[in-house]
């Protein structure tokens, strides 16, 4: 059950009642960041670290990162709502809980025919070619009605289909931890599987986080042939067959 706390805006002194957002844990239980009855913090400068909090599931004990709860006051002030640290047990909660360390993923489709024909790649010369190559590969895996928008949205999602969101990074830098987490959150918001394609590979922490979240990672060369780089990608190839 979500926590609620009274919040007073330090700018206009307006009173609010804030309810903690509820997210689905990997075990299936609803998870809400436990709120502290403490003054909120006015957000004047954002950092990636401050935008995330570690929350422990009371059902399975798993610890994971979720968006920091925020409240937007009508006066224009944005407030960061304090969350109880995982090291601080709540009322009636045990001091320690088991941690479920197993990876998890959103179920992936099993719609491709068996056996699949050989994949026919397209040569990558431009960023648009990279997105096209990824779209063809996803269709080859069995995803249906994969759509490529004419203009890349601000979310960075280059491809969408039923139960699918995919991001294609054609840059010369390895994909970052933030790239992977943003893709996963976009998929989570629409109950879809997230798949990542990169031409320059992935930072070590990005690969580790993708393994934790079950996000399939593929790397592409200029021939347009995606190659799996983690177990989730291998599984996607298998379950698509």
pLDDT tens-digit profile of 27-79? 778 888 888 888 898 887 766 566 778 888 888 888 887 888 888 888 888 88
**178 HSE (CA, 13 A, CB side):** 8
Percent of the chain beyond pLDDT 90? 26
Please say whether the beta carbons of 69 and 83 come within 8 A: yes
Nearest partner of 149 among 159, 161, 135, 136, judged by Cα: 159
pLDDT score at 102: 37
Residue of 81 and 155 predicted with greater confidence: 81
pLDDT at position 93 is 44
Distant-in-sequence, close-in-space partners of 94: CB < 8 Å, separation ≥ 6 = none
3-class SS of residue 215 = coil
Helices and strands (H and E) in the chain: how many? 4, 14
Give the separation between CA 127 and CA 199, rounded to whole angstroms.
Answer: 10
Check residues 159 and 1 and name the one with the higher pLDDT: 159
CA 174 remoteness from chain centre: 17
pLDDT at 135 over 90: yes
Q: What per-residue confidence (pLDDT) applies to 36?
A: 85
pLDDT tens profile 67-124: 888 888 888 888 889 988 876 444 444 433 333 333 344 444 444 445 667 888 888 9
Average pLDDT along the chain: 80
Tell me, rounded to whole angstroms, the distance of Cα 237 from its chain centroid.
20
| Whole-structure pTM value | 0.55
Nearest to 146 by CA among 111, 184, 182, 118: 111
Cα–Cα nearest to 10, from 67, 80, 68, 69: 80
């Amino acid at each position: 059950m979500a926590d609620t706390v009274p919040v007073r805006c330090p700018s206009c002194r307006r009173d609010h009642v804030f309810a903690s957002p509820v997210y689905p844990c990997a075990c299936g239980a609803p998870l809400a960041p436990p709120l502290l009855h403490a003054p909120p913090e006015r957000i004047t400068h954002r950092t990636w670290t401050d935008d995330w909090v570690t929350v422990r599931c009371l059902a399975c004990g798993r610890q994971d990162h979720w968006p920091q709860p925020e409240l937007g006051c009508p006066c224009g002030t944005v407030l960061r709502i304090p969350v109880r640290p995982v090291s601080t047990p709540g009322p009636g909660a045990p001091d320690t809980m088991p941690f479920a360390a197993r990876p998890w993923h959103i179920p992936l489709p099993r719609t491709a025919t068996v056996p699949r024909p050989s994949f026919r790649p397209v040569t990558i010369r431009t960023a648009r070619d990279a997105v096209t190559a990824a779209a063809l590969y996803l269709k080859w895996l069995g995803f249906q009605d994969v759509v490529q928008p004419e203009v890349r949205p601000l979310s960075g999602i280059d491809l969408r289909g039923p139960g699918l969101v995919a991001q294609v990074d054609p840059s010369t830098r390895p994909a970052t931890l933030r790239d992977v987490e943003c893709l996963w959150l976009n998929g989570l918001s629409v109950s879809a599987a997230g798949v990542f394609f990169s031409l320059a590979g992935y930072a070590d922490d990005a690969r580790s986080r993708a393994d934790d979240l079950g996000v399939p990672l593929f790397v592409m060369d200029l021939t347009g042939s995606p190659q799996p780089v983690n177990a989730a990608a291998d599984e996607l190839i298998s379950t698509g067959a």
